[in-house]
Structure 1
Amino acid sequence: MPTTCRTERLTLRPLVAADAPAVFAFAGDREVTRLMDWEMHVDLADSEAFIEDVTAGWDDGDDYCWGIELYDEARIIGTIACQFDEHGMQMGYVVAKDHWRRGFATEAARAVLDAARDIDDVYRFSATCDVENTASVRVLEKIGMRCEGVLARWSERPNIDDSRIPRDVYMYAWTR
């Protein structure tokens, strides 16, 4: 995967330690993280640890997480990641609330899917989203991924409540 991707309005680049406050601004927001399958960051140390973890993923060559940076402002407004798994590659993303409904997630997701398409042995590129996450459904459909169905009780959404009951998700995929 490329280290950096550029689109019309965005630069996707690896996160650095100095990005921790920007990451915490959205990863510590209850509304932004409500339907994520990872726990909301409770302090800056959580965001710093996250950046250390994703930096190690780049070094290992199997887990890629880019900061979504506004091209004209050089400011991180979200993250997008993809990992290799036994089925191909899987993608996930998050964007700060004050940048919702402006097409940034779609633009970033399209760039990452296009980069994955350039890898000859990637035959499947997938993403899941909570059945309540209509914004993510729109993003995945706009970039040409197809809904393969609902995975019942697939994954926890720890920021909804403390019950840890797995929730239903849509499975979307692009296949070669």
Structure 2
Amino acid sequence: MIVMPRTLDTARLHLRPPVAADAPAVFDYAGDARVTRFLDWATHLDLDDSRGFIDDVHWGWESGDDFCWVLIDRASDALVGTVGCQFDAHGAQFGYVLAHDAWGRGLATEATAAVFDAAREIDDVARFWATCDVDNRASARVLDKLGMREEGVLRRWSERPNHPGASGPRDVRVFAWVR
């Protein structure tokens, strides 16, 4: 079982596991088609979808191999997104999502860097990686800023159910940092 810190703090963010009361704030971004366009999970249609997500996150923490934190903007005390880290035989995989109003401020890089740094404290993990849709240039910039190297394109790797015109799996760029 992997142990990750339950809370992390950066200059502008407080990261903590989500709680049931976060469902409306999660729905605010997870129900926004602009936000979910490149993601591999469906846009939330109602609060029950967001509640189900929070329940899943709870079980990920309990299992000790799938961790997700909500991002709380210290200046406004608003929940502005999530960052996650899953551990498996291949290493640690990262993912993140930000509310549309939080885009362009470097918060995805700041939050993911905090989780990335915590995960790198686990000596047994040699590979740290993430994917992003080939059209998602902003996400690719985040991964580049973290010091991950682009390894290539995984053809027809994963579904992007919210991408306009998507039918079937889409190509993704894969980035990694290897010990």
TM-score range, shorter chain: over 0.9
Q: Is 1:138 matched up with 2:145?
A: no
Amino acid at match of 2:155: A
Amino acid at match of 2:97: V
CA distance in 2: counterparts of 1:87 and 1:75, whole angstroms: 34
Q: Give 1:129's aligned residue.
A: 132
Match of 2:41, SS state, is: coil
Q: CA offset at residue 160 of structure 1? A: 1.7
Q: CA offset at residue 60 of structure 1? A: 1.1
Pairwise CA RMSD: 1.0
Match of 1:109, SS state, is: helix
Q: Deviations over 1:99-124 (max 9, x none)?
A: 10000000001111100110111100
Alignment of 1:75-94 (within 5 A): 75-94=78-97
Match of 1:73, SS state, is: coil
CA distance in 1: counterparts of 2:165 and 2:108, whole angstroms: 28
Q: Give 2:46's aligned residue.
A: 43
Match of 2:40, SS state, is: coil
CA distance in 2: counterparts of 1:160 and 1:9, whole angstroms: 31
Q: TM-score, normalising length from structure 1? A: 0.97
Say whether the 8 Å CA contact 2:15–2:70 is kept in structure 1: yes
Q: Is 1:98 matched up with 2:96?
A: no
Unaligned runs of 5+ residues in structure 2 are none
Q: CA offset at residue 161 of structure 1? A: 4.5
Q: Is 1:113 matched up with 2:113?
A: no
Match of 1:107, SS state, is: helix
Structure 1 runs (4+) greater than 2 angstroms displaced: 161-164
Q: How many residues align?
A: 176
Match of 1:25, SS state, is: helix
CA distance in 1: counterparts of 2:166 and 2:136, whole angstroms: 19
Q: Give 1:68's aligned residue.
A: 71
Q: Is 1:31 matched up with 2:34?
A: yes
Alignment of 1:7-26 (within 5 A): 7-26=10-29
Amino acid at match of 2:26: V
CA distance in 2: counterparts of 1:109 and 1:161, whole angstroms: 27
Q: CA offset at residue 85 of structure 1? A: 1.6
CA distance in 1: counterparts of 2:159 and 2:42, whole angstroms: 10
Match of 1:38, SS state, is: coil
Question: Identity of aligned pairs, percent?
Answer: 61
